[in-house]
Amino acid sequence: MKICAFTGNRPDKLPWGYDENDSRCRAVKQSIYDEVVRSAKEGFTRFISGMAQGGDTYFAEAVLIAKKAYDITLECAVPYRAQSLRWSHNARLRYDEILSQADAVTILSESYTPWCNHVRNRYMVDNCSRLIALSSNVSGGTKYTLEYAAAKKIEIIYIDWKKS
């Protein structure tokens, strides 16, 4: 089975923030969808999203749309059970809707720990052969995940939000 995972920025590190009507955000979402479809056509059948707000959410939604035309599955790799607890009402509704449509939900920790997102990121890389990355020279979890994937010789497909 060929597995594809995703890493990307949260809204606070994206220039449009939470404004998904921004033309740059729409272009990025289209690029993510195009990469999901290309991966499906290349035989990838399982897609893993880390379910953070921003890029992870765009990716999960792209997979759910692509599932209508391709025989693929979505796994939501949730770093800890109450991940969405402090999110806005609308963000929680969106998150819950994605989880309800996922083929698998993997909860990596019952409660928050300082390293739970790190564990989630390693889980995704350890279980994929392709990583789609929404990134533009950022630091933090996305950068670490990319470095870990590169060290493991995982194929990385970059989507640069500055160029989308």
**Amino acid occupying residue 10:** R
For residue 139, the model assigns a pLDDT of 65
Domains and CATH numbers, the chain: 2-159 (3.40.50.450)
Angstrom CA distances, 68 to 35, 55, 64, stand at 16, 21, 7
Q: Which residues contact 88 (CB under 8 A, 6 or more apart)?
A: none
Asked whether residue 161 carries a pLDDT value surpassing 80, the answer given is no
Classify strands 104-107 and 44-49 as parallel, antiparallel or unpaired: unpaired
Q: What is the pLDDT of residues 35-68, one digit of tens each?
A: 999 999 999 999 999 999 999 999 999 999 999 9
Q: What is the pLDDT of residues 4-37, one digit of tens each?
A: 999 998 898 889 999 999 999 999 999 999 999 9
For residue 12, the model assigns a pLDDT of 86
Q: What is the pLDDT of residues 110-157, one digit of tens each?
A: 999 999 999 999 999 999 999 999 976 666 778 899 999 999 999 999
Q: What is the pLDDT of residues 86-113, one digit of tens each?
A: 999 999 999 999 999 999 999 999 999 9
Q: Which residues contact 87 (CB under 8 A, 6 or more apart)?
A: 53, 95
pLDDT-based confidence at residue 162 (cuts at 50, 70, 90): confident
